[in-house]
Structure formats: C-alpha cells, structure tokens
Structure 1
Amino acid sequence: MKAGTSEQVVWRARLVLGCLLLTALCFQRMPGPVATGGRLDDPGTVLRGALHLWDPSSALGHLQSQAFGYLWPIGPFQWLTRALSMPEWVGQRLWWSVVLCVAFLGVWKLANALRYGVPLTRFAVALLYGLSPLLIGAMSITSVQVWPLAMAPWVLLPLVTPRARSGWWRVGWSAVAFALIGGAEPVTAALTLVLPALWLLTRRWDRWTLKVAVGWLGCVAAVSVWWLVPLLLVTHYGTPADRDVALAKSAGETYDAVTVHWRSWIDRQDLPGNVLVVPAARPQWVDDELAGRLASGAGDQSLRQTLVNAGVRYVVVRSDLTALAPIAIHETLTETGLKRVASFPRTDIYDLGPANLARLIPESRLVEVRGTTDDVPAVLSALGGDREAITSADSGRGLRELPLIQVDGAASDRQPSALLFRSDADAQSGLLRSVELPQPASYELRGTVRSADVHNRAGAACGAGPVVRVDGVPIKTQVLAGAAESMTFTSCETGPVVLAAGRHDIEVLANGGFVPVEATLTKAGFGNVSVTPVQGINLWRPNPAGLTLEVPGSKEQSVLTVAQNYSAGWEAYDGRGRKLTPIRVAGWQQGWVLPAGEEQLVSARFMPDRSYRAGLLVGALGLVLVTGMAVFYRRRTRRSGHQLQAAQWRNSWLLRRLRSQPASR
C-alpha cells in the first residue's frame, strides 16, 4: 500500500475501529469494580519507594518486592490517571485498553513487515491477538503479565522491517521496545526475546549479521540494567522476613469501601508504629503461637509486650474476611488492655499506645532459646519479666554465654536454665517428653492449661490440677483462677523439683477437665534479672534505607534492636565510627551488639541500597544512550542518502557538460 492512497486511508480507518472495539470491550467488562490485577493502590508511594531497595513501610521492613519493575511504564501511567482525578476503575480500564491496542497494532505491523497472507487475514490475526487476554479471562488476573506479550511484536519488528535502515537503528529500536516492557514481570519479559534471538540465529551468518547480533545483545542488556541490577540484589539478599506482616500501608487483596475507610483513618493519625491486621487474608507475622493467644479470648501483659516489642501501634480486627465475627480476638485485646479507638462497618481498630520502634536491651536480660523462631513468644511469655531472646542459631555473635532455655527436650551439652514443653494445638491428653541433663539441678514447676468448660474453676484445690509425673514420681498441682483458654497451674508441694544428671521422663496429663498446653521447669533463682531496664530509644529515618538512633548511656554491654526484619545488608556504626556486630534478635528482628558507653548517636544504613540506586542511574543512562543511538543512526542514514543523491546529480551534470563540448584533437 503506497502512502496517500485511498486503500491506505481505508486500512487506517479499520485499525482505528479495531482499537475502538478493544477499548469498548475493556470498558464494558464489569464497569465500576476495581480488579486487583496490575493495580497499584498508591502509584505515587510505590514510585517513591522504588527509589530505594529497602521498604520500611510494610511487612516490618523488607526488601521491596520488585516495586522497581513499576518505575516504567506501568507506574507512571497509573500515577498520571490518579493525578488527573480519574475514577480508579476508569484508569484501570484505560490501561487495559492500551495493552490490547498495543498488542493488536504490533501484530498488524509485524504481519505486514513479514508479508504473511493478505491484508484482511493480517487484520483478523492481529485482532484475535489483541482479544486473546479477554478471551482467556486475563482481565481478572493481572495486566503486568499480559503487557510483555503485547510488546513482543514490537521487539521483533525493527529487526525484520523491509525498510532501508541501518543495523544500529534496527537493534536500537528493538532494545527500546524491550525497555518499554519494564521489569514488573522479568521472566515474561525475557520470553519476548526468544523470537528476535531465533530470527537472528536463522539468518545467513556474515560480518553484518554478527555485528547486528552482538549489537542487539549489548543494547538489550543496556536498557535492562535499571531493573536487572535490582533483581540480582533482591535475589542475593533474599527476603529477610521469616514472617510476613499484614500492614495497613502495604497487605492488600481487596480494595472495597471497608478497606478504604480504616486505611484512611490510620493514614490521618500519622503516628509512628506498625499496623497489625487480624485475621489476615494471607499468611502474616502472626505465627501459630501468637495467633492462638489472640484467638484464646484471654489476654495478659505478656501479649501486650510482644506486640509492643514488634513496634505495633494499632491492631485492626477485620470481620469482613470471615463469615463469623472474631469475638474471641476482641475479648483478648480488651483483656490485654488495648483501647478501641475507631469502628467501621465490620472493622475495629485498637490502640496499644506508643510503640517501641527501637530498644536497648541489657545483655543480662537476654536468654538463648534452643528451638525455632516460633518458640520465642512462648518462651518469653512463660518466663515473664522484660526479657528478650536470641535463638541458638544466632547466638555467639559478640555476646557472652547466655542462659539457655531448652524447648521440647532438644539435645543440649549445657545445663538449661529452663525447660519448656509445649503440646500440639489439638492434643487432648497431655505432654510426654524426655530430657537429658548434663548436671543435677533444682527446678520450679509452672505451666498453662485450658478447659472446655468456661465455668470450670473447681482446680484451686491441691491435687486437682493436671497429673504431673517425673520419672514416674507424681507431683501434685493446682490450677489458679483465670480464663478457660489460659489458666496457670503450679506445683502445690513444698520445695522445687530436684533432677539428677542424666535422662528424665516428664509426663503432664489432663485431669479434671484441664488439658495441659505447656509446662515449664525453671531453675531456682533464674527469675532474678538485672536491675538495668530495657529502654525504648528515639529513631529517625532520613530515608527508607537509613536510620539514626539516639542511644542512652549503659553500664553494661547491650543489644540495640530495631522493630524491623533482620537483613545482612544493614550496617551500623557507633558515635566513634566503629562498626557494630549485627545479631538477629527473637529469630527475626534487626539488632547490633553495643558495648557499654556514654550516650551517643548510632547510624545505620542498608548498604546494598547504594548499588541499587547506582543500577537505576546507570540503567536510565543506558536507555537514553540506546534511544539516542537509534535516532542518530537513522538520521545519519538519511543524510548519507541525500549526500549520495547530490553526488549523483553533480556527476550527471558534469558528464552532460563534457559531452556538450567538442572533442579536443
């Protein structure tokens, strides 16, 4: 089709009608609701957060989950629709329209370049390709997975176009088309390179083909640096969270009016601290132990301390995620002393008060837990007092030997200061455990039981509690008054339980309707801790990847903790510029060993953030250079053609003039 012909005008009109048809289908499909696929809840926040590798605003601090992939082009597009005050569903349907139209036009132009079939069949194939996401129901999945497929024809097109173009122009524009895919779906984006690579491999190999292939690989790599370097950093450092947390400013699966109301309320408070959502729509930081305590209907100060130490300020109880109202959670939070500060349809918000975003923990208040991360809350609750734990996997990093807490009979070559035995959640009979001690010691017996009968208190009498036998010798117990789901039992016989060195069999069996939940043998005198208190400290974030902490003076070595997930990428320096030894606290929390000293400012930084930001900068520069090269070499090719034509005209003029002159003798 020659330019300016009536046939070309007709086909252009058909292409416009095809795009209008795809757009109409996007807007006709479920008008009003906002689908979750490919939607950014707050594009501005996502784009700002993507400028740093560490995200402190969700999941108790973590490496951002590929938010950098939305820097281009999805994020800016959604930011623009938000800036223009478009309704969210309109902006989302508009983006889908762009996706489908780009796919449709790309296949049309590629089919014309390759001259497959006749124009009518090319149009039909292109329209079917554009319709394919709707036909397979991808509108209900995610647009970021479809966008690379929409751009795939454009990546191949510059390489196969029949127009007279330089090799650098071809590889440059192919790379630019690949850059427009972005890095939100790196695997799917990489698949779009398969066809161009196959096309190059199937050409006749000569010097020109080799030049184009090498140039194409180089240009594709250059325009991918901005998301490839961050992806490698995320892969290297991994996800630091052993637990995930549902936070109001991150979480979410739904974007209905209920969610918008309570999230807006929390944003207006503008107070430091994390927001815990229970029950969560996806697995979160609330492990089995803590989830059980929240659902028990019985709260205490140890539960409150656990939440405060995690930096939680608000607890959001959502009834819209379950068919039944979580009454037990409300009862637990009320008994714990939390105040209900806001209520919305099927959603209530409780306030814990000022959160401990950072703490200074004296070494004398630390214990070593020989068990898993999930065992830590149970250990701290059973021990009582203001303590913190280091798991055995994280111990020995700049600290002296800590008191050992052995969970469920784990093997040990050291004398434990306390033994903790826990039953399965569905156990109805009790606990049967074995433990081996390297030395003799005296222990005090204490534990927790539950009762199916809320009126069952009838355990106050000595001997009416659970049956306890140590090596077959019975020990009388009694149950103290409390909530049916969490009542304390103790030994009611005089004197501690004396255990010799060697193996011992421990039995804690149900009795009188009381089912044992856990039992603790605590070494006599172990409850006495240092008079030095755990102190909350002030914390500032100059940027998402930096921390400044105002640390008070301490007379003993301590551990400085921040209520965020541990990552090996964080480095901290004291007031004298000395690097501090990092340590994981409670199996998940960021900490550093701090020597005794005067009041000082400690600075910390997530070191991979420098490489991350450098990758973004170099990647942006690479994209500009490749784009400029594609434009420059195309213009140079045109200038060379004009110069060649001018030279031909001059040669023709000279030849005619020579012929017009008489021949010399």
Structure 2
Amino acid sequence: AGDYTVSATALPVPGEALDKLLFELTGERDKIEVTADSTARLGTNLSPRNLTDGDLTTAWIAGERPVLRLNWPEKRPVGEIVFAAAGGLSARAEQVQISSPDGTAVASVDENGMARFSPINTDRMDITISKTAPLTVHNPVADGQLQLPVGLSEVYIPALEEFRSPQPKPDQKFSLPCGKGPVLSVGGTYLETKAEGRVRDLTQRRPIEVSLCTDDSKVELAASSTTVQAGDEGPLAITDVSLSNGTTEATAATPRSVEVKQGEGDRRTVEVGAGEASYLQIHENHNKGWKATLDGKELTPLRIDGWQQAWLVPEGEGGTVTLEYEPAKIYQWGLIGAGVLFLALVVLALVGRKKSGPEETEELPAPPGPG
C-alpha cells in the first residue's frame, strides 16, 4: 500500500485521429483538411493528409473504400481537380463521383489525372473513386489476378491553392494537455493523462512519454493486486506501464551501441556496435514485409511482446543494419515519375481553366449534405 509513481509510453496509431492531430500541429487552421474512409497497409507513411501537402514524394493508397472527404475554410467554385497517380502498387483513377451540400457531379479522369466538371461553389466535398484503371498483379494464393487499389500522390485543386496544407516540422514539439492523453485505468479508477514529444515521434511511430495529471504522476494503491488497463481509442495507444514506490537496483548490463542514421519512411539504416547477441526492436506492429540486413546478411525476424517488430543481431563486431519495407519499393519508383508528371499537370490545370464548358460531365440531383 502507498503512493506509486506511474510512468508509461505510447505509440501513435495510424488513422483519422492521428491525421487530425498532425493537421492541428501545423498551427494553420485555414487549410484543406482531408480524411479517408480507408487506407491500405502497404507502408508506414501512407496517409490522406499527404494529398494536399505539396510534397510529391508522399502518397495515399486506398483500402476497401476509396472515399476522400475534404473541407476548407470558405466556399469557392471548384470545377477541376488533378488526381496525380502514385504509381507502383496502385492504379490511377479513371472516374470520380463528387458530392457536397451544394451540388454533385460525376467526372472522368483523363490519363494525365485531370477531372473537369461544372463548378460547384462549396466548402466541402466527398470524392469517391468509382473507377480505376485496370492494373493487376498475380495472386499466388488464389492463383489469379488481383486488381490493385487506387493510389494518389496529390489531389490538386487550382481554386484552393491558398488552402494547401503543409506538413508540420519534424523537430516541432507538441504536448497533449491533461485529459487529452490516452485513457489509463489503475485499480478500476480511470485517470487523466498527458503526453509530450516531437512531431517526428508521431510520423515515425516512436515511443511517446505519458504521465498522469496528478502531482508527480502518483497514485495511491491498496495492499492488494492491482489491474492496469489502457484504452485503444485516439491518436496514441499505451504500450508499456510501470508503477514504482522507490528505487530498485538493476543488474548491470552493457548494451550494444545503436545510432540511427536514417530513421524515417520505409527504408532505414542503423549503426550497431560490437557486443553479445541482441534484439534490434522497432516500435511497430510485426509485419512480414519488413526485411533487415547486417552488412548485406539477412537477419532473423522476431515478434517481441506479442506484437512488436524485431530482429536477432548475432554476437560480433556489429555494422550497418538496413531495414526495408519491401512492398513499398515498387510504388516508390512510381512516385518519382508521378512527381515529374504532377508539375506538368499543374500547368495543364491552369491552362485548362481558360477553356469554356465542362468535359465529360454528368450532373446529378443535389443530395443532402454528407453525414
């Protein structure tokens, strides 16, 4: 019995809540906000927030529901949109259905990614990619062809140029105030938490420090067993919790030195020092797509704590460990080509605005606003 200090760590959870937090961290509220009904699990950095950031090396690939939801500060007439294809493990859009409280349209998307329709004066749109270009890969399990999902590197709307949303700076500090951190229950009592870190911790899914909102993050416990539970909603999910009421002596150990050379995206490099056999662990879900090599020799993959990705680094001198998410290699090459093409599409969009009349447009009756 007595007072215990509670400390915890949490990991960012990809999804709408995390995207919303990153959008708020830009410090600019008068920008386009984008969410998606689904996102494919083909890479660690795929997100709908990438579609209006002006960065041609980022992308979003749809999951089961290829629906994007956009809103911006004030009504503007929108009559053309460029859907820049991501390439790689994704197909380009061929047709979109656009709905808003102020009008609807169905528009074809040409090979350059351009879609034109009668202008809709609105401050929000739901965009459903209703048709994609045929692009398949062989599925060895079903022994058949698998249609690839739609993928985009940018959704460029010329009429909303001033509202494009830049990514927050990686070194920027952030904090979630009391009550905004992940939910934690200790001994049946729900306790408010707070969290702090840097933006790169969110985008790279690094551990983030979480503490209670009580004085010195302490809680009083009875002299009996205590159940600790953590919620799984919101942008952060608690992965580790420790309770201590004093200091304990730990067995001395000499860990191998680790220096992160490149810690972002789907290809990372780490310098590992000499020492005994050890685990190299990243705070992400175990995924067979990840491959690690030590100076060119493949390492044995492991699953730590039932869910985290890790590899066994053998005893020896150490060296350079390269981590690669192999499914992402293909679409990365597509992004390079798509980035060059996108620059031309922006010019085409501006030139196209001088033409009169919509192209390949089908008007629909105005539906009620999106829910």
Both structures adopt the same fold (TM-score exceeding 0.5): no
TM-score bracket relative to the smaller structure: 0.3 to 0.5
Report 1 or 2 for greater relative contact order, CA contacts < 8 Å, sequence distance ≥ 6: 2
The structure with more helix, counted as a fraction of residues: 1
After TM superposition, the score normalised by the length of structure 1 is: 0.26
Structure number with bigger Rg: 1
User: What TM-score, normalized to structure 2?
Assistant: 0.42
